[in-house]
Amino acid sequence: MTTDINKKKRFVIAGIFILIGIIYVIRLFNLQVMESKYLLSAENNVLRYVTKYPARGLIFDRNGELLVYNQGQYDLMVIPKQIKEFDTLELCKIIGADKITLINNLEKARKYSLYKPSMVFKQISALQYAELQEKLYKFHGFFIQTHSSRIYKEGIAAHILGYVGEVNQKIIEKKSYYRSGDYIGISGIEKAYENELRGEKGLNIFLVDVHNRIKGSYKSGKYDTAAVVGKNIYTTIDAELQKYGEALLKNKRGSIVAIEPKTGEILALVSSPYYNPNLLTGSNRSKNYRGLLLDSVKPLFNRALMAYYPPGSTFKLVQALIGLQEGVITVETALPCNGGFSIGTHVVHCHHGGSVGFIRSISGSCNAYYCGVFTKLLYDKDYETVESAYQNWRKHLHSFGLGVKLKSDLGHELAGILYPSDYFNKYYGKGKWGPFTIISLSIGQGELGFTPFQMANMVATIANRGYYIIPHTVREIDGEENINENYLEKHYVDIDQKHFEPVIEGMQLVLDMGTAGGLGLPDIKICGKTGTAQNPHGIDHSAFVAFAPRNNPKIAIAVYIENGGYGSTWAAPISTLMIEKYLTDTIKRPWLEKRMLDGNLMNE
């Protein structure tokens, strides 16, 4: 009996200890887990996570002139979960907004996330920011996010520099770095070098009081991270030459592309009509963008990289080189021109007569000569079919970067039009076409279309006597020279170097005594070629390609002026003025400059 009682006592005592142990475990769980959770929740209610946006890298021209810099910007942000009842009318009055817009923006923020910051109003003014800072305690859940917006110092080179815009949901889903309200390069250098320019974001964690005012850093900044400033970029652009080119193209549709031949560095790229890139910054950006997009003159359209033009007689330069390389002509070859080239009842008209030699065919731009060269290329060579001869001719053109994308760093570059033989088989029937069927190609017309960018690269290739470096816009990033090896490589054409000098001789005579006679400079040997690109929709386009000086060229240029007529009327004068400006920094032909600056072709 006594034994049973003792056993019961031991069980009771053991039960008491077990119960005490369970109580301690539960208490410890509450202290270490539940109360920590509540503590964290409480801390989150008094903590504000503020992204530190780095200053975007500056952009300079090739001579160190500042082109793009930053200016402070203030955005009103919100964390929807932290919002308490507030006076919507007062907030709207401070930031100059209407109540409906505020409500809609808050609803968008709630749909995005209750816990993550969202932008309510972007780019509020400095005065609005100052007033809001004083009254922010009234608006729980709201805070000001500061970062920088871009300022384009001279308001030039919009199609080169590009612009910055707010990220959309597609970008956010694709690139984890970006969050709602962030900005990203949309076009031009701003887009191509986004990773270098943007820097790296940092984070500040602040303690805020019950009035939504910052009281200090959380844990003395232990968990803060510093923002890394974006890298500065030094472009290849000559700002003064760019400004001059834009002035020359005012009230004209067209483009100018100027390249330093030996490096492939783009000195100027003008597409006109153009726009001031500052229109696409600030609070009116969306409104201005819509206006530019709907503008009938299409200022956003980059004609230098995206417009196809028949090259016209400028194309005769590569035709001459291909003819020499294939051996269908020599420098001594003369071909007949009796007012044109006859194909049955069809005549490709020309202004020459009698026999025309090689050099004169370039300086005087003889159509008949190059109709003859093209015919020889497709018929006189040992190819089994016209198709294979045509494909060989096309391969030569590709080696000059014609009809292909050059893969520049500017983006939005188009390949142009240079059809394969299958196109003509489909159109005319296999075996039913030949050089006479597509004779317009011989003089840069018909089924051909190249961009001014490609034509500038073509003439740079001739200036280099047989190679080009991919045209590009950036030469240094934070002092490190040329960051991409692709922009150092020489791309050689499949034409022997010995064939270039006679062509260049003809190009110099174009300005001395040929189709652009009188436009040469006394102290600088300019080598060029005029072109008149036929336009079925109106007045022909004026075209000109050139480089200078003849030996050790410093600049190669292509100019296209829509509805400008003959190449010597507008494109050639503008080209020679650009060359004179770049090489001498002075203009000694003010009468010519005035005519080009004052010219208005927008109504043609």
pLDDT at 306: 95
Q: Whole-prediction pTM value?
A: 0.86
10-residue averages of pLDDT along the chain (604 residues): 59 66 62 46 63 91 95 88 90 90 92 85 85 89 85 94 90 87 90 93 82 74 87 97 98 97 98 95 86 94 95 96 96 92 82 90 95 92 88 97 95 92 94 92 95 98 98 91 84 97 97 93 95 85 97 97 94 98 96 96 76
Q: Beta-carbon neighbour count of residue 471 at 10 Å?
A: 30
Alpha-carbon distance of 330 to 509, in angstroms, equals 19
Q: In terms of domains, do 331 and 203 share one? A: no
pLDDT at 10: 65
Domain count, the chain: 2
Q: In terms of domains, do 72 and 139 share one? A: yes
pLDDT at 461: 98
Return the structure tokens found at 534. 């036929």
Q: Beta-carbon neighbour count of residue 362 at 10 Å?
A: 29
In a domain, 534, yes or no: yes
- Residue whose structure tokens are 């793009």: 68
pLDDT at 584: 96
Residue 336 · residue 342 · CB < 8 Å: no
- Residue whose structure tokens are 């004179």: 580
Q: In terms of domains, do 206 and 226 share one? A: yes
Point out the domain boundary residue: 202, 235, 268: 235
- Domain holding 157, by residue range, is 50-235
In a domain, 497, yes or no: yes
Q: In terms of domains, do 124 and 145 share one? A: yes
Return the structure tokens found at 476. 């240094």
Residue 204, beta-bridge partner list = 50
Q: In terms of domains, do 427 and 372 share one? A: yes
Residue type (1 letter), 185 = G
Q: In terms of domains, do 563 and 422 share one? A: yes
Q: In terms of domains, do 231 and 351 share one? A: no
Phi/psi at 581 (5° precision): -60, -45
Q: In terms of domains, do 88 and 230 share one? A: yes
The CATH number assigned to the domain holding 335 equals 3.40.710.10
Residue 43 · residue 208 · CB < 8 Å: no
Chain Cα centroid distance, residue 420: 28
Q: In terms of domains, do 79 and 151 share one? A: yes
Residues 6+ apart with CB under 8 A from 173: none
Q: Beta-carbon neighbour count of residue 540 at 10 Å?
A: 20
In a domain, 359, yes or no: yes
Phi/psi at 406 (5° precision): -80, -15
Q: In terms of domains, do 148 and 222 share one? A: yes
In a domain, 168, yes or no: yes
Q: In terms of domains, do 216 and 132 share one? A: yes
The CATH number assigned to the domain holding 108 equals 3.90.1310.10
Alpha-carbon distance of 119 to 75, in angstroms, equals 7
Residues 6+ apart with CB under 8 A from 323: 329, 373, 376, 377
pLDDT at 389: 95
Q: In terms of domains, do 217 and 244 share one? A: no
